Every structure is written in structure tokens, then in C-alpha cells.
A and B are shown apart, each in its own frame.
Chain A
Amino acid sequence: MARYLDLKISLAIIVALIIFSIVIPQITPYDPRSWNVVPRDRPPSLRYPFGTTSTGQDVLVLSAWALRNSLILGSIAAALLVSIAFTIGSIAGGTRNTVIRGLLTYLIDSFCVIPFLPILIMIGSLWRETLGIIGTALVIALLGWGGQARNVRSVIMGLRERTFTYTAIFSGYGTLKLIYRSYLPYIVRWLSIAFLFGIIFCIGLETTLSVFGITSLENPTIGTMIFWTREYQAYLRGLWWWYTFPLVLFIAFLVAMYIVVRRLITIFIEGIR
């Protein structure tokens, strides 16, 4: 089916990158956070296929670790974010209790309004030392769930309009039950798409934060790699391998994920029809 060619290629790329990010870290003998383990500033060669950095690290190894960390961070953050957003959003949209709905709407809107990048930067610069991969993921999820919650709320409200005309008898708890039981297939689909989108979004956010230099910079992620290339002015010094290889891998991963999400959406829509 040539129709799904882009989907197949994207999935292949994602799987390949995931394998890459698992295998290489398993076989590296040293801690990726340590510096000066290999000679510095070497261009790509047989020994170092992706070259080495000014901090004395192997770009190939670093890229694999970076991918791994970014993936872990993105997945945790996305899972948490979507869970929070979905819980709060669906209650806000589905409940008949005006007080709860009002309060939750107010909560969601407040979280949509706070400029979370400056606040993230603030938090990051304060707690940089204690904030590891997991910590960053937590903070991203806890601050950024607003937008998705708003989506969930309007979707659930739309669903409610349609079928609740004849089920007006249900109490608040019954409403929740009904949502989860009859809408489960749609919910599962929505959640999986939101989760995948969330990974793209959270990785992007972490990258942005790292470029500002406020995450734990010894932990290799794509973002911290970019940060260090700026610190050492790799662009002006001609160390193209340091930023090109990781960026290519990173872009390939994100674009492939995005294509997968788009295809999933069309598949789901056709499934519903």
C-alpha cells in the first residue's frame, strides 16, 4: 500500500533511532557526563564516526545518550501532562455541577494564561542543581497542561451536548461513568494522539530550556548539546560535526513522529466513519 509509505518510513526511522539510543549507551564503557574522555575537536573519522567535541566527548556516543534522555524526558513529561490535562479537562467538561465546572474552568484558564516559559526559566535557574531529567519533566508537565485541558474540555462538552439529552437522569458520578464507558474507544484514540504530540512538544520545550542553559547541563540531551556548541562557538570554529549530526538525528526523529501522528489521525477518522 503505497498510501502509507510515509508512515512506514517514519516508523522505521523512529524504531531505528530508538534502537540506536538503547544500544549505544549499553556498550559505552564510561559515564557520558564526564569530559575529556577522548581527544578534542576531531573531525569525523573511522574511530570517531561523528567526530569529537571541544569538551572531549565522542559525538556519536553523546548523540545516542542525548536521544535517549530526550526521549525519556519527553515521554514522562507527555504522559504526565496528558493525564493531568485529561482528568481536569474531562471533569470540567462533563460535570453537571456548576460550581465544579466554574472552578475548574477558572483553573484551566489561569494555567493557560501564565507565561510558562519565563516561569520555567525562573524555576530552572533556581533549582538547576537538583533538577535532573525527571525533575525537568515533572516541572514541564505541571506547568504546561493548560492548553490540552482546554481542548479536552471543549471536546467533552461537545460530546455531552449530543448524547446527554436522553440521559439527563444521571447524577454527577454516573456522568463520569458514562463518559468512560461509552466513549472509551474515542478517548483511547485521543489520548494516544495527544501523548505523541505531547512528546514532540515536551522535547521541544526541554530543548528550549537547555539552550537557555538552565537545565542540568552535564546530562546530555539535544538541548544541552546545542547549548555547549554555543558556549564553545562551534559555528565560528568550523566544528560542524558537533552540531550537524545530533541536529539531523533530532530533526529526523521529530519529523517522523509528526508524520506518524498525522497518519494516525487520518486512520482514526476513517475508522470512526
Chain B
Amino acid sequence: MADVSRQSRSRILSFTAAPLIQNLIERLILMIFTIWTGLSIAFLVTRLSPRNPAEQVLSRLQGAGIFMRPEEIEAMRRTIMGLFGLDKPLWEQYFTFLQSVFSFRFGPSLLNFPVSANDIISTYMPWTIFLMLTATIISWIIGVVTGIVMGIWEHRRGVKLLEYVFITVFPLPYVVLAIAFLIIFVGILRVYIGVTIIPKFAFTLETLSAMFSRAWLPALSIIVLSSVNWAMGSLALARTAKREPHVFYAMVRGIPTNLLLRRYVGKNVLILQITALALSLGNIFGGALVTEYIFNYPGLGTLLYQSIVTNDFNTMLGITTYSILGVTMASFIIDMVYPIIDPRVRYGGGE
């Protein structure tokens, strides 16, 4: 008797532990390899530059009017090369780099010499997170809700009109929209964007209001484009969800429309969009680059751009490392968590 019931139970519940752990380990290994590849490519690209950072520091010093005798220049050059580890062979530099990833200490920043790259990054990171996190979450909420509602009531005329507005915004590259914002707000409306000094980060009202005063315009531009993106995605998902047999059957059974919204269409779309949100949160540092550059916002994006054009390897690689780690770990976490949320994946087919 006990045998039979156990059999029937395992026929119904196909969620057993052993293959799960194997899956977890596979994905973990893949993730580590992917991170390693990404970092290595980034490292290689930085070392491809023919420009020598030591020369840049030297020329900057000389440009500031400091006169040095040739021996002093040579000594300085060697010191700088030593500091940045540039006098060592490439493979040794590579290993140093990998070490620095583990310890999160990326060495001195070229741009802001002699401040270490870490300090610079940690100064600017809160600003970027403040801007991008809030903008992303707000756009997600607005976009997904709008998209689901539009998907359900897709035949109303207002919805169709709104959809065409979205279609006009969706394919445009973010730069175009951002510049349009700048034109409207700065050029036409002459809104004043203050210049701020970046203090050491503290959770004070002062800091937060300083952040807000610089962040609202870029955030707005992100929210507009990003909401449209989320809305279009949710709209398409909601439309597909509506055509599913179980939604049809719910209508056949007389389930009222608003209940349908919540339980059937909305829930399915939400599950998918939450995972998409997590993925895009992992991508935060990538999006920051363009936004901060255009709006002159003091954050990791601007820092990254500056470090690229001045060949400040350490800062560049530091930020890139955070970015790569963010993306891979976010997608890894989602892969692991998603089966828990979606019963379809967790319990597989019963056939």
C-alpha cells in the first residue's frame, strides 16, 4: 500500500533534489567562466592601447609648468610604471589584475592620481545607484501596469492611439530622446541644473536632495523611454496571455473581467517581467554611461567615460568588473529563483 502511494506521489511531484544540485553546479561553473572571459576581454582591450599612461602623467606634469631634468623624468617614468605595474610583462599584469578583482582593489587611478581607483569608484557609486535604481524601478512599475491594462482592453480606441504613440518612441536610440529632453528643458525652458561638489556619501537629507536636484532630469528621460519599453513588452505578453486557452476558458465560465486581469493575465505577465526587471537591474552600470554623459551627471558613467579617454586602466577595469559581475550574477540568481516562482517550470510535465 505504502509503495503504491509513494509511486503516485512521485508521478505527480517531479521536483527532486539531486538533478537540481547538479544543475546548480553546472550553472555556477558557467557563470564563473563567463565572468572570467568578460574580464579578460576587457583587460585585453585596455592593453591594446598604444598610448602609455606614464607618458600622459608626465606630459600633464610638464604641461602644468613643472620643469624636470632628463634624469628626473626617467626616474619619474620608472616610478609611475612601477606603480601601475606597467613595467612587468603582460601575463604578470594579467594575474595582478585577476587578483585585484578578488580583492576589489584596483590600484591607483590615473585620472585622479594618486587617489586609488576604489575610492573614486565608491565616491561616485551611490550617485549612479540613486539615479539608475529609482529610474528603473519607477519605469518598470509604470510600464508594466500600463502594458497589462493596454493588453487587456486592446480594442478601445484610446488604447490603440496610445500604442501608436509608443510605437513612435520605442525604436529611437536613447541618445535622441535624451537630447530632445535637454533641448526642451535647458534650451527652451531654461531650467537651471546646478553644479555640485561631490561630498563623501552620507545618508543625510542634504546629500539626498543634492542628488535629486541633479538627477531628476536624466531620471525623467530614462523613465519616459524605459516605461515605453516595459509597456510594449508587457502589452505583447498580455496579448499572448489573453489568447491562451485558460484565459478563454475563464471567460467561458463567467469569471468577471477585473478578476481575469489579476489572476490570469496579470499574474502571468508579472512573473515574466519581474525576472526581466532583475536582469535589467544587473545591467544598471551599462545604461548609466550614456545617460550621465549627456546630462553631465556625476556618477560612475561619467567616470567611466573619462577613464576611457584618458586611458585610466584601473578605474576603467574597476567599473567594468562591477558591471560584468552585476550582469552575470543577476542572471544567475534569476535562473535559480525563477523555477520557484513559476509552477509550470518547477513541476514540469506530467506526461
Which 5 A-B residue pairs are closest in the complex by CB-CB distance?
A204-B173, A235-B187, A258-B171, A110-B37, A254-B171
Q: Which residues of the partner chain B approach A123 to less than 8 Å between Cβ atoms?
A: 45
Q: Which residues of the partner chain B approach A250 to less than 8 Å between Cβ atoms?
A: 176
User: Is there a chain A Cβ closer than 8 Å to B216's Cβ?
Assistant: no
- A-B contacts besides A114-B42, A117-B289, A226-B176, 4 pairs, CB < 8 Å: A119-B45, A204-B171, A226-B179, A258-B171
User: Is there a chain A Cβ closer than 8 Å to B49's Cβ?
Assistant: yes
Q: Which residues of the partner chain B approach A204 to less than 8 Å between Cβ atoms?
A: 171-174
User: Is there a chain B Cβ closer than 8 Å to A122's Cβ?
Assistant: yes
A-B contact pairs, 29 of them (CB 8 A): A105-B30, A106-B30, A106-B33, A106-B34, A106-B37, A110-B34, A113-B34, A113-B37, A114-B42, A115-B323, A117-B289, A118-B42, A118-B289, A118-B304, A119-B42, A121-B308, A122-B49, A123-B45, A126-B49, A207-B173, A207-B176, A208-B175, A208-B290, A211-B175, A211-B179, A226-B176, A235-B183, A247-B176, A254-B171
Instruction: For the complex, give the distance between the alpha carbons of A257 and B173 in Å.
Output: 13
Q: Which residues of the partner chain A approach B324 to less than 8 Å between Cβ atoms?
A: 113-115
Interface string of B18-35 (1 = CB under 8 A from A): 000000000000100111
Q: Are B48 and A126 in contact (CB under 8 A)?
A: yes
User: Is there a chain A Cβ closer than 8 Å to B168's Cβ?
Assistant: yes
* B297-351 residues at the A interface, CB under 8 angstroms: 304-305, 308-309, 316, 319-320, 323-324, 327-328
Within 8 Å by CB of B38, from A110, A254, A255, lies A110
Nearest Cβ on chain A to B117's Cβ, whole angstroms? 15
Q: Are B286 and A115 in contact (CB under 8 A)?
A: yes
Nearest Cβ on chain A to B155's Cβ, whole angstroms? 14
| Residues on B facing A (Cβ under 8 Å) | 30, 33-35, 37-38, 41-42, 45-46, 48-50, 167-168, 170-176, 179-180, 182-183, 186-187, 285-286, 289-290, 293-294, 304-305, 308-309, 316, 319-320, 323-324, 327-328
Q: Are A207 and B35 in contact (CB under 8 A)?
A: no
Instruction: For the complex, give the distance between the alpha carbons of A136 and B46 in Å.
Output: 18
Interface string of A136-161 (1 = CB under 8 A from B): 00000000000000000000000000
Q: Which residues of the partner chain A approach B50 to less than 8 Å between Cβ atoms?
A: 126
Nearest Cβ on chain B to A273's Cβ, whole angstroms? 12
* A226-262 residues at the B interface, CB under 8 angstroms: 226, 230, 235-236, 243, 247, 250-251, 254-255, 257-259, 262
Q: Which residues of the partner chain A approach B309 to less than 8 Å between Cβ atoms?
A: 125
User: Is there a chain B Cβ closer than 8 Å to A212's Cβ?
Assistant: yes
Q: Are B320 and A118 in contact (CB under 8 A)?
A: yes
Q: Which residues of the partner chain B approach A226 to less than 8 Å between Cβ atoms?
A: 175-176, 179
User: Is there a chain B Cβ closer than 8 Å to A218's Cβ?
Assistant: no
| Residues on A facing B (Cβ under 8 Å) | 105-106, 109-110, 113-115, 117-119, 121-123, 125-126, 200, 203-205, 207-208, 211-212, 223, 226, 230, 235-236, 243, 247, 250-251, 254-255, 257-259, 262
Within 8 Å by CB of B182, from A119, A203, A205, A235, lies A235
Q: Are B168 and A122 in contact (CB under 8 A)?
A: no
Q: Which residues of the partner chain B approach A212 to less than 8 Å between Cβ atoms?
A: 293, 305
Q: Which residues of the partner chain B approach A113 to less than 8 Å between Cβ atoms?
A: 34-35, 37-38, 324, 327-328
Nearest Cβ on chain A to B314's Cβ, whole angstroms? 14
Instruction: For the complex, give the distance between the alpha carbons of A203 and B175 in Å.
Output: 12
Within 8 Å by CB of B174, from A105, A122, A208, A262, lies A208
Q: Are A207 and B175 in contact (CB under 8 A)?
A: yes
Instruction: For the complex, give the distance between the alpha carbons of A151 and B43 in Å.
Output: 28
Instruction: For the complex, give the distance between the alpha carbons of A118 and B308 in Å.
Output: 8
Nearest Cβ on chain B to A207's Cβ, whole angstroms? 5
Q: Are B320 and A251 in contact (CB under 8 A)?
A: no
**Which residue from chain B places its CB closest to the CB of A255 in the assembled complex?**
B168
Q: Which residues of the partner chain A approach B176 to less than 8 Å between Cβ atoms?
A: 207, 226, 247, 250-251
The answer to whether residues A251 and B45 also contact, given A110-B34, A115-B286, A122-B308 and a CB cut-off of 8 A, is: no
Q: Are B41 and A114 in contact (CB under 8 A)?
A: yes
Q: Which residues of the partner chain B approach A205 to less than 8 Å between Cβ atoms?
A: 173
Instruction: For the complex, give the distance between the alpha carbons of A226 and B294 in Å.
Output: 12
Nearest Cβ on chain A to B206's Cβ, whole angstroms? 31
Instruction: For the complex, give the distance between the alpha carbons of A259 and B293 in Å.
Output: 30
Q: Are A243 and B183 in contact (CB under 8 A)?
A: yes
Instruction: For the complex, give the distance between the alpha carbons of A259 and B171 in Å.
Output: 10
Max chain B Cβ within 10 angstroms of own Cβ: one of A113, A200, A235, A259: A113
